[in-house]
Each structure stands twice: as C-alpha cells, then as structure tokens.
Amino acid sequence: MYEDGWIPTVCYQCKAECSILAHVQNGIVQEVKGNPRARGKMCVKGMAGITSLYSKERLTHPMKRVGERGEGKFEQISWDEAMEIMETKLRALHEKGEGHKFTYSMFPHSASDPKWRFVNAYGGFISTGLPHCDSGKIMAHLHTFGCFPNHHIAPIYYSVPKDGLMILSGRHPFGCMDDACVAKDILDAKERGAKLIVIDPIFRPEAAKADWWIPIKPGGDASFFLGVCNYLLLNNLYNKEFCDKWVREGDMEKLLDFIVDKTPEKMSSICEVPAADIIKLAKMVAEAPSACIDAFKSIMYGNAMDWGQVWSIFLVITGNLDNPGGQPMPELTPMAPVNPVPTPPDLKELGYHRTGPNREKFDHYNFILEPTWYAAQAIKEGNLKIFFATECNPALSEMGAAAWREAVSMKDDDGNYMLDFFMVSEILPSETMKWADLVLPDQTNYERWELLYMPWWYNYSHGAALCRPVVKPVGEARHTNNVIIELGKHMFPEFFAFKDDVEYYDIELGGVGMSIDKLMENGGMWSPGTAGFYKYKDKKKFDTPSGKIELDWNMYADINQQWPSPELPLEYRKDEEKFPFILVNFRTIFLNNTGAWSHNNAQLRDPVSGLDSNPIMINPVDANKLGISEGDTVFLESATGKVSSIVQLTEKIKPGCIGIIHGFGQTVGQVATLCSSFNDNELIADAGSHLDEQDLRGGEAHVSTRVTIYK
C-alpha cells in the first residue's frame, strides 16, 4: 500500500487543504511541496507538517479521564474499551429520545463527511466555528444570490484583469487560509497591472504590498462601503444594465431609499476614513474593468451580517458577479450520493439554541449550522449532553473561554457533569483535551484517506482532490472518520452498509466518472479545469425564490432589519471611557488559528521559521499617553476577562486599537508552553451570557471587544 517517491496527496495543516506532493523515502516523509498539477504552492505551515507527523508529542493511544475534568489526568485504554464507552453513552441518550442533545464540533471536510453522516443518522447536530467566522458572507450568498451556502469564497485572483481592483477588507490572504497559491496569484495580478487596495486597521504584509492602504476603524467596513455604494448610485456610476436585468423588481428603488442618506460624509464619521477617500475609491471602482472584495467577516469581527449584506450590494451594483476579477459563484462538484442518505433533524426545531428558555430570541436565526458560540449556554441549560470534538480546540476557540470551562466542568445536584460525555480526537495534545472524558489519537493527513470536493476556499476548478495515506500510522492512531464509521456500522447499519472510507469515497467519485484507483493513477485529482464565468446567464436566473438577485432581505422585515446597519457593532459603541481601545485580533500564516497542531509544532514556534510570541501591539502615540514603554508587562482587560503580556510599540496599528494574534494560549504540550502567551478569547465575552447584544439573524456572535490597558 505504501510506496516511495513523490506521492500526490493533500495537506491538512489548515483548512485550505492544498494539493501537494509528499516525498517518501524508506517509508518516511522527507519533503513536501505544492502539487504543480493543482495550484502548485504549499505554505510554511504545510512545509512544517512533517514536524507534526513525527513529533514525540503525538497522541498514540486511546486514553480515558481519571481525575476531574480540567485536571488533564488520563490512563491508557484499548480501542475496544474506547469504542464501548462511546457506544454505551450514545445509545443511552438516543434511547431517551434525546439525539438532538448530541453535538459534534468539527470542520466538515465535505458536505458528505462520514462524521457528519453519523451525526445526521443519530439525530444530532454538528457545530463549527463558521457561525462566528463566515456567517455574514454565507448568509449573503443564500439570501442575495441564492447560491450554495459557501464557506469563505475568495476572489479568483488569477482571473483579475489589468486595471482590475483587488480590495482586501480586514482580510489577510497572504496567511494562506484559502490556498497557498493566493499570495502568488495576487502579486501576479499586480504585475499585470491590477491594483491592490488594503482596508485594514493594521499594517500587515498585504498592506506593505498594496498600492493603497486605507486604515479604518474596526467594524467600519459596512459604513465605508455604504458610502462607496451611495456615491456610485447617486452619481449614476453603477452598472445599470446589470441591475435592470438581474435584480428583483422594486429592490433597486428600495435600495435607493435606504442608501440616499448614507453619504460619504456621514459614513466617514463612522469608519474614520476621510470622505474624499471614500469618493476616490468609488471613482476607481467605476472606472475599473472589475473589482472584488476579499473579506471574511466584518473587519476584525463586529457586524458581520451587516457587512455581508453591504458586500453583496456592492458586488451587485457594480456587476461584479461570476465575472473575471469579481466574486466567483462556484458550484458543488456533483458527487454521487451514498444511498440511503440519512435525513438530518430539523435545526430550527431541535437545535440546542431552539430548545432552551431563550428559544424565542432565535426566531430569526437563519444560519445553516448550530451556533458553536452557544454551546456553553446549552450545557448550562441541559440541552447539550454529549459533545464530540475532532480537529478543533473549543477551549481556545470559543468566545468567553472562562464560561466554556465553567460549563464543561459544571455538575448537577447529584454531582454528575451537566455535559454527560465529552470525547476529543486529536493528533497532538490540545487545550480542550484537559476536559475530555475520552481522548482518541487521530491520524494526520499523511496517514489517512479523505476526499475533498467542496467549492469553498480557493477550490473553483480542481473538482476533487484525494488525500491518501503515504506512510504507516504512528502508534495506534486511527483516523476518526473510520472510528465513527465503525460506530455507525454498529448503531445504524442501514446507513453504513459500505466497507470502509475508501469504498465510501469510491461510490461518491462515481458521480464524476472517477474512482479512487483512477485518481491515484492520475495525480490524485480530478478537475473540469474551469470554474466558468457568468453561469447565471446560462441558467437565465439566480436560485433565489424570485429567480432574481434579492437585495432586500425581507425575511427580517418584521424586526426592521431588512437593510444593513452602517453602525459599528454595539460593543464598540459602549463603555468607551472605561475601555478606550478596540481589540483587533488577527491571524498569521504561522498558526492554524487555535488548531492544536500548530501550537505544538516546533518549526512553527521557532523564531527563525515561525512565531514565538504574541505581544500586545499598541501605537506609540497611545503608549506615550499612558506612560507605557516597549517591553513593559501590561494588563489587558475587557468587561469579562483579563490577560497579561509584554507590550510591543508599533506604528503598524491605528491609534485607538490594540492588536493581538489569534490562536495562542495553549497550556498543554512541551512546545506550546515554551513561550508565555495568552488566549484572546479570555477577553471576548461568552455569547450566551449577553444574547441581547448578538446579531441573531444569521448566527453572527458579536466578538467585538473593547479593552483597557495598564501597567
């Protein structure tokens, strides 16, 4: 099964899952690089993936908890015992008719990820970080364009023409979270004459390469682009032909009514970008052959739903949809279903956010997945009983880290944990493990199978990529997909009638006339070779209820939120005196966010090849006023948390903001604990405890946070 040579497979040091080649010699992965048949690049995290694979800290045996949750004390057990523990717990809850109280927190590698299939068969839900990372744009895709609720969809940078505009709004694509080739594609586009515009309160390598850097107030992007749209519409600089043809009747008039007072001058006072610059950008957009905006949520969190809607309005009035250099609308690769497909339970009826005392607050919650940010609250309310976590680290990634810890350790009057059972499967020690009842050793991408075919991130045209085992697994590590398939075979044999993961993927690949063997013989990937442009013209419609683009989100009319608010997130508008700074927590290429592998990867924490600290960044203007000097140890305090670390004075941040890197703070593992660091989610409030401030339309949890800093 294993062979030496350069083997095509897929990286999984982050969720971009780039196609790569692994150089195997004598059964050992020696080197890795991007697969030239795909997009050809692999980033520093990927290159360092070999260190995760062979780290001495790899989890190699199943373990069960012996102390209390949080103590992190375990004893080694057999796989048989581990399987029996899980099955017993799962069966007991299912027999009570409470399958919906089972939640699996994971990154689904595809819509048909075998773990998700099990959860659907069981009647539970999956939860991912998506609701507080990508919800704004996912909801915009759904509501405005009616397309597949895509995950983050970056512009196709290799399609940007000369003079096209590439606008990065609070997004750091050089961090390679979409695909390792993105930085190259952006710089190539620049070389052929496209313009790079970076809107960001911090100056990162993207800004260093930009033709124009626009420092903005965090959360100000909705107002900024409303100002741009106002100028375009009122000065007849928008794409009238496109709008006349494709926008639902009446929506343009309603948009005009809404936007008429969102003047560049007025919007300038919110986003702190001069009105002249808002107008300058509008004029550039009007003249450019194309414009795209790469953004994640709103700039550094904040009002994501508002931002998502403004983003879609901008794209529509400039006609930048599914065109070269605009916003792509990729389609799902048509894999074959593995029948019978289990029907998932009704999220609106049974999701943990809909079964507790706060249920009516979620009446307008339209997001497609269970809100992970509400997990702690759901445990407290008795609506979350069994929690599985794979390839994720909620102890660090959940907002309100303290509330999360409290919830998973909380006991009822009889002394039983409120969360009845907690399983974590991981490759390297994770923070979350400390609270787990059962820890299962997972396999890295070099030891396992996976079929990737989703159109998210930067996958427009490679269609399908195969991750295959290139070396023998370490210790007793088993891929969690196979563990869950085995559970499925015991509990729901009708839905797990296939032999194993390989046969499952083989059936799916039949949808494009492929098989695992054919993929393996042909470089590990299948691709139609084109993403296609203007697909809506072929279809002569958009997949919305009206068949047209729907700018007016009338499903929120009864709460008067059918149009986006230009305001900054609520949290930024209160307690300004007590907490004068806005927290900007950003990502870097050296961390897979809170993912446990990058924390304990020696190369990614090495000062020469990675990042070995997360200092508190402050502009010298602010520091001088506070008497704070470079290297001082300071406290950073929000309304709900407090951390302490070393200060770094830097011109690269807008005064009034404090910058910190997201994804530090792990206290488990020899590498992670070498540097003193802190977790940004200690400062960010738990969502369940301040629901009134949440935007509950699409699932965005406001993680916007104000802080104060002192010595």
Interface contacts to other proteins, rule CB under 8 A: 30-34, 41-44, 47-48, 50-51, 53-56, 174, 176, 180, 183-184, 187-188, 203, 205, 207-209, 213, 215, 589-590, 602-603, 605-610, 612, 619, 621, 651-655, 670-671, 674-675
Q: Where are the alpha helices (DSSP H) in 554-706?
A: 596-599, 620-626
Helix, strand, or coil here: 413?
Answer: coil
Report the distance separating Cα 384 and Cα 352, nearest Å. Answer: 7
Min CB(441)–other proteins separation in Å = 16
Min dist. Cβ of residue 32 to other proteins (A): 7
Cα–Cα distance measured from residue 36 to residue 246, given in angstroms and rounded to the nearest whole number: 38
Sequence-distant (≥ 6) Cβ neighbours of residue 625 within 8 angstroms = none
Q: How far apart are CA 486 and CA 86, in angstroms?
A: 11
Which parts of 529-676 fold into alpha helices (H)? 535-539, 596-599, 620-626
HEC sequence for 354-405: HCCCCHHHHCCCCCCCEEHHHHHHHHHCCCCCEEEEECCCHHHHCCCHHHHH
Residue ranges of E strands in 134-248? 165-169, 195-199, 212-214
* Cβ 203 to other proteins shortest distance, Å: 5
Whichever of 643 and 671 has its CB closer to other proteins, that residue is 671
CB 516 within 8 A of CB 503: no
Identity of the residue, 100 or 654, whose beta carbon is nearer to other proteins in the bound complex: 654
When the beta carbons of 618 and 701 are compared against other proteins, the nearer one is 618
Considering the complex, what minimum distance in angstroms separates the CB of residue 479 from other proteins? 20
Contact 703/399 with Cβ under 8 angstroms?
yes
Q: Alpha-carbon distance 356 to 350, whole Å?
A: 10
Using the minimum distance from each CB to other proteins, give the nearer residue, 410 or 602.
Answer: 602
Q: Which is nearer to other proteins, 497 or 675 (CB)?
A: 675
In the complex with other proteins, the residue whose CB is nearer, 55 or 377, is: 55
Nearest-approach distance from CB 689 to other proteins, in angstroms = 35
Using the Cα atoms of residue 114, residue 116, residue 120 and residue 124 in order, give the sign of their dihedral.
Answer: positive
Whole-number minimum distance, CB 604 to other proteins, in Å? 8
Q: Say how far apart CA 79 and CA 86 lie, in whole Å.
A: 11
Facing residues of 426 across strands? 441
Which of 168, 173, 169 lies closest to 185, judged by CA? 173
Q: What is the DSSP letter of 326?
A: S
Residues 6+ apart with CB under 8 A from 474: 53, 54, 58, 60, 443, 447
Give the nearer residue to other proteins in terms of CB position, either 216 or 634: 216
* Shortest distance in whole angstroms from residue 227 CB to other proteins: 19
Which of 200, 700 has the CB closer to other proteins?
Answer: 200
Residue 206 or 550 with smaller CB distance to other proteins: 206
Residue 671 Cβ, how far from other proteins at the closest point, in Å? 6
CA distance 338 to 332: 16
Q: What are the strands of the beta sheet with 291-295, ordered from one edge?
A: 212-214, 195-199, 165-169, 291-295
Q: Is 112 or 603 the residue whose CB approaches other proteins more closely?
A: 603
- For the bound state, the minimum distance from the C-beta of residue 157 to other proteins, rounded and expressed in Å, comes to 12
Output the smallest distance, CB 596 to other proteins, in A: 16
